[in-house]
Structure 1
Amino acid sequence: MVEQRAPALDDVDRRILSELSADGRMSVTAVAEKVHISRAHAYSRISRLTGDGVLTRFTALIDPAKAGLKSSAYVTLKVRQHSWRALKETLQAIPEVHHIALVGGDFDVILLVRAQDNLDLRRVIFDKLQSMDGVLDTQTFLVFEDIDTR
């Protein structure tokens, strides 16, 4: 695996990223005004940040409960050695899995799972996650309250 170097970011880049993190629908003109640069300069910077992979996508933040996903849990997985690549693709195909992280420590993977209710969450954990080839053990941590820090 080739290690990729992170592109150098200056203060203008960081301010652009901050503005777009707060409102991904912000126009280039609005970003330029907030950061105090020209529209052409903002467009150029945003294009470079996107091309460099710093900006990976523009998205909307959704309140899961209001969107009908009233049950959430962090689920940790212990996995069989060398099964990560295949497992990652299978996990990405599960619509209820909203975030996947390969981590170090007492477990190997942590997932954010969002479901319609506890019965649906149970189905995802027992029927999908625990039965996956390569998964040795799971542990579930129910989410009682979500707080968005952005």
Structure 2
Amino acid sequence: MDETDRRIVDVLRVDARLSISELAQRVGVSRASAYARFNRLVTERVIRRFTVEVDPAALGEGLAAYVHVRIKQNSWKSFRTKAWALAEAEHVALVAGDFDCVLLVRARDTAHLRQVVLERIQALPEVVATQTVLIFEEHHGHL
């Protein structure tokens, strides 16, 4: 990956719906070069998928929290499968520190969040402890 490839990725992070012609113009390369580079970035899985960013509040998921989870030793594989299956878990990460895993959970309200944390996450046999941190405000920046 060279600097031109990085510029292509940066431009697409902001707006992945750009046409190849517009992408080429913004990056300062020919349309053919932009097309070839774009295809290579997709084929080599530098660009893994295309998605849309939505407003969680508009979807009725106005409450967000990080749920820090401590799990039993050697139970990461079974825990992650169950965590990935949680519809409310937008992001699941294995981390180092006091906790083993962090989940970004989106819920309708505090009752829904309570149900997810206490009745679904804490009920998993792999879970030793949890700590929930409410998110008051978010910013999704682009590199």
TM-score band by shorter chain is over 0.9
Distance, in Å, in 2 between the alignment partners of 1:45 and 1:90 is: 37
* Superimposed CA distance per residue, residues 9-50 of structure 1 (whole angstroms, 9 cap, x where no aligned partner): 211011001100001111222111111112221121112112
Q: What 5-or-longer segments of structure 1 have no aligned partner?
A: 1-8
- How many pairs align? 142
Partner of 1:104: 96
Give the 4+ runs in structure 1 shifted more than 2 A.
none
The alignment's C-alpha RMSD in Å is 1.0
Aligned counterpart, 2:105 = 113
TM-score by length of 1: 0.90
Relative to its length, the structure with more helix (as a share) is: 2
Aligned equivalent of 1:42: 34
SS of the residue 1:65 aligns to: helix
Which residue of 110, 114, 118 corresponds with 1:126? 118
% identity of equivalent residues: 42
SS state of the match for residue 66, structure 1? helix
TM superposition shift of 1:112: 0.3
1:40 maps to amino acid: A
- Provide structure 2 residue ranges, at least 5 long, that are not aligned to the other structure: none
Aligned to 2:60: 68
Q: CA separation in 2, counterparts of 1:102 and 1:63?
A: 25
Please, what TM-score do these two structures have when normalized by structure 2?
0.94
Residue 146 (structure 1) aligned with residue 142 (structure 2) = no
Letter in structure 1 aligned against 2:42: T
Q: Structure 2: which amino acid aligns with 1:44?
A: A
SS at match of 1:81: coil
